Amino acid sequence: MSTNTGAPADSGKNGMPTLTVTACKATMPPPATSTFSFKAPFPVASPGAMLKPRRVSLALPSSPRLVPDSAWNFRDDTGIDAHRTGHSNPGQGYESDTDVLLPEKRGKMRRIASDGDDFTLGSTMGASGSAESAAGPSSEKKQRKKWTTEETQMLVDGCNKHGVGNWKTILSDKSLKFDSRSPVDLKDRFRTYFPDAYRLHYPNAKTHLSSKIRRSTLPDGKPLFERPAPRSDDRSLRRRTKP
């Protein structure tokens, strides 16, 4: 699987270690250049010192999703395959258009892709839909676009330069080239590709944290990224509650 050859190595200036991690993918062959260089952007006394929950988990105390810490080491069990055990048909989407469940039934409304489907993504499409809004008013689903090694490296560089979580800033950095990515795309990529780092920076996250993919910590567990200083208007401590 993925290996983390993070080389603590020559701690650079400011005591910030220059790290190297091998970015092998579990399901796809490693690109030609599979080594990313990481550099912790901010000095930190201890890995956990700056950790501060930015959001409160959706999981209610009584929620079956709430799993013990030990479960973090397992695959996304906390994200339970609702779509596999629920109403949807794995790999086939919903059985039919009529299988679209109401929000009160499914928890929240989702757009269903179907032939001739007419819906638009609505105003909330801004986040990830903006990048390819050229699709038109009744925007079709954004085509899946795999992240290249180069893009990933840009993301890493951006995180090191601007701090994890400053996706918009990273995206705006002229020196970083992304292929029509949105801030959300950056966040999602970071979340899926560097689950360990994501978990370190966002302890509340319970999804997209495969236990098999670890590209973001050193063998000794030290993080490759540093969380930027929390914003003063940190809303992370609050979290929506499920109906």
Judged by CB under 7 A, does residue 98 bind DNA? no
Q: Please say which residue, 38 or 202, places its beta carbon nearer to DNA.
A: 202
**Helical segments of 99-166, H only:** 103-106, 126-129, 149-162
Minimum distance from residue 10 beta carbon to DNA (Å)? 29
* Candidate ranges 9-17, 34-42, 72-80, 218-226; the one touching DNA (CB under 7 A): 72-80
Q: Please say which residue, 9 or 135, places its beta carbon nearer to DNA.
A: 135
**Judged by CB under 7 A, which of 80, 150, 173, 222 binds DNA?**
80
Q: What is the CA angle 239-217-231, rounded to 5? A: 35
- CA–CA separation, 68 and 27 (whole Å): 28
Other CB atoms closer than 10 Å to residue 122's CB: what's the count?
A: 11
Minimum distance from residue 235 beta carbon to DNA (Å)? 4
Footprint of DNA on 183-242 (CB under 7 A): 183-185, 187-189, 192-193, 202, 204-208, 210, 212-213, 235-236, 238-241
Q: Which residues of 175-212 are buried (b: 16+ CB within 10 A; e: fewer)?
A: ebebeebbbbbbbbbbbebbbbbbbbbbbebbebbbee
Rg, Å, the chain Cα set: 19
Judged by CB under 7 A, does residue 65 bind DNA? yes
Task: Answer whether 225's CB lies under 8 Å from 164's CB.
Answer: yes
Judged by CB under 7 A, does residue 45 bind DNA? no
Binding mask 113-152 for DNA (x = CB under 7 A): x-------xx-xxxxxx-----------xxxxxxx-----
